[in-house]
Chains A and B, each alone.
Chain A
Amino acid sequence: MKLRAPTTWGSAQLLASALLGFFLLLPVVALFATLSWGDFLGGLRNPLLAPALRLSLVTTTSSLAIVVVLGSLLAWRVARYPGRASRWLETVAQLPAVIPPAVAGLGLLLAFGRRGLLGAWLDRHGIALAFTTPAVVLAEAFVSAPFFVQAAIAAFRRLDENLLVVSRTLGASPFRTFLRVGLPLAAPGLVAGAAMSWARAVGEFGATLLFAGNLTGRTQTMPLAVYTAMESDLRAAQALSLILVAIAFALLFVLRRMGPGAALPGTEARGA
């Protein structure tokens, strides 16, 4: 069998793929390749690690819960009741994805800080948010909400309208229809959205630094611990980073296993 000679266009694709693939992979490889096993174990013993890891888990779980509960209802509203208000809501929910994180942090500070728009009122009632653990949760919820909301809106829009109407005619209230038909059928899309949203929250840095600060055990999450460790001990920073990379890989693996078909519930029931 004779191979066809590569065309210029084909070669351009291969070259571009190789270049970009190399560029994207090299930093990840560098994280692993430049650290000995001993240095890694040494890095794991760094006193910054345990509190940061614990804080990251607690705050990202909290922010995810907030985003999933409120985001599901917002997404349902937007997907099921199209109109001007829904378009506005959708745009607002996308906003944090395009705002630079540092700017988001400044905005959060000016809104919820001691002299902020809402913060001044909260302060008079004895509630201080800025530079506390709840501030970390708010920062993470702010930057990660768009990822879940977008996925949830798309998943709810794909639902077959007839299934929802039939559910009502079978005696289910709108809320029960949401619970028993909407949520289960949109579940694969919602889970994928929640995973992306959580990944974004785990990696959150800029908004947290400006709004919550960098206090060990209180507001210093894993990415901030990496930043802090770098000032004194590059090996420790690298070990912390590898834990984050491992989390990212695990997420990616789960999402790939769910596959693109999982994001389209109800399709197997049509056709036939």
Chain B
Amino acid sequence: MLEIAVARKIGSLELRIDLMLNRESVLVAGPNGAGKSTLLRLLLGVLSPDAGRIALDKRVLFDAEKGIDVAAEDRELGYLPQDYALFPHLDVIGNVKFGLSRLRRTDRQRHAEEWLERLGVAHLSRRSPGGLSGGERQRVALARALARSPRALLLDEPFASLDPVARRELRASLRAWLFEWRLPALIVSHDPADAVLADRIIVVERGRVVQQGTIDELRGAAASSFVAGFTAEPA
């Protein structure tokens, strides 16, 4: 379970978000500058909230009152940034092994190969990330994040850098994987088609949650023009 109650002021944005995720996928939607990326950075621990508390499976990651702020490297969160951020100076397997420094050298190799296998990209193991397609890079990045057995997943616009065909294919795969893993997953997106990935949708505007529910619930009673646009049936 991921419990989030954070407040942070950056420039003109005053972010204040309360959110609780069980073993479910939640889509965070909202217009540009609404604070979606800021929320991810607060959770990841690369930006500190001014106030609030973050807990993951009863482990407190941040508590302003108690002065707890667990370092980013110890938060056990799997993160998939928008462009997947594969390390260009390492090959595919090197990317996966990067996160496995806790394991013994021989286990590291085997474990990394297993995860590449599970995501169907074991054949790319010796390739350089530069030569991979967008879809392949996403799978490698997922393998890299999941190989560390994270307690929750954070995905930032997981399909934004893919072409429409790859997007449809990978969306279906990701949906099946998320169902299989049953991790709390927070997916930031402004593509309504990504709603199929999530059990519910949270709409953030100007740093606040303005509405949440399933896509049908939102469509029935849109609280803002953004929600109305986001949930509109494709023509």
Q: Say whether A185 faces chain B, with CB atoms less than 8 Å apart.
A: yes
Which residues of chain B come closer than 8 Å to A170, judged between CB atoms?
73, 98-99, 144-145, 148
Complex interface residues of chain B between 29 and 65 (CB less than 8 A to chain A): 41, 44-46
Asked if residues A185 and B89 are in contact (CB atoms below 8 Å), the reply is: yes
The answer, yes or no, to whether A45 is at the interface (CB within 8 Å) is: no
In the complex, whether A166 has a CB less than 8 A from a CB of chain B is yes
Within 8 Å of chain A (Cβ to Cβ): is B120? no
Q: Which residue of B lies closest to A269 (CB)?
A: B88
CB–CB B72/A162 < 8 A: no
Residues of A within 8 A of B44 (CB): 165, 168-169
Partner of A171, one of B45, B129, B130, B148: B148
Q: How many A-B residue pairs have CB under 8 A?
A: 74
Residues of B within 8 A of A162 (CB): 81-83, 85
| A39 touches B (CB below 8 Å) | no
Cβ distance A182 to chain B, nearest Cβ, rounded Å: 11
Q: How many interface residues does B have (CB within 8 Å)?
A: 35
Q: Please name all residues of chain B whose beta carbon is closer than 8 Å to the beta carbon of A160 when the two chains form the complex.
A: 83, 85
A259 within 8 A of B: no
A54 at the B interface (CB under 8 A): no
Interface size on A, residues (CB 8 A): 22
Q: Are B79 and A169 in contact (CB under 8 A)?
A: yes
- Contacts A170-B99, A172-B98; A266 near B88 (Cβ below 8 A): yes
- Cα(A171)–Cα(B46), bound, Å: 13
Q: Which residue of A lies closest to B45 (CB)?
A: A168
Confirm or deny: A268 has a beta carbon within 8 angstroms of a beta carbon on chain B.
Answer: yes
- In the assembled complex, the Cα of A266 lies from the Cα of B128 at a distance in Å of 12
A107 at the B interface (CB under 8 A) = no
B132 near A: Cβ within 8 Å? yes
Q: With A172-B73, A173-B73, A272-B131 given, is the CB distance from A165 to B81 under 8 Å?
A: yes
* A115 at the binding interface (Cβ < 8 Å): no
Query: Chain A residues with Cβ under 8 A from B78's Cβ?
Result: 169
Contact B98 A180 (CB under 8 A): yes
**Knowing A168-B72, A170-B148 touch, does A272 contact B132 (C-beta < 8 A)?**
yes
With both beta carbons as reference points, the residue of chain B lying nearest to A183 in the complex is identified as B89
Contacts of A163 in B (CB 8 A): 85, 87
B88, A265: Cβ atoms under 8 Å?
Answer: yes
B134 interface contact, C-beta 8 A:
yes
Sampled A-B contacts (22; CB under 8 Å): A160-B85, A165-B46, A166-B79, A168-B71, A168-B72, A169-B77, A169-B78, A170-B145, A171-B73, A171-B74, A171-B99, A171-B148, A172-B73, A172-B101, A173-B71, A173-B73, A265-B88, A266-B88, A268-B88, A269-B129, A269-B130, A272-B134
Supplied contacts A162-B85, A166-B79, A272-B130, 14 more A-B pairs, CB within 8 Å:
A166-B81, A167-B87, A168-B46, A168-B72, A169-B78, A170-B144, A172-B73, A172-B101, A173-B73, A181-B87, A184-B89, A266-B88, A272-B131, A272-B132
- A interface residues, Cβ below 8 angstroms from B: 160, 162-163, 165-173, 180-181, 184-185, 265-266, 268-270, 272
Sorted nearest first, the 4 A-B pairs with minimum C-beta distance are A269-B88, A170-B99, A168-B72, A162-B85
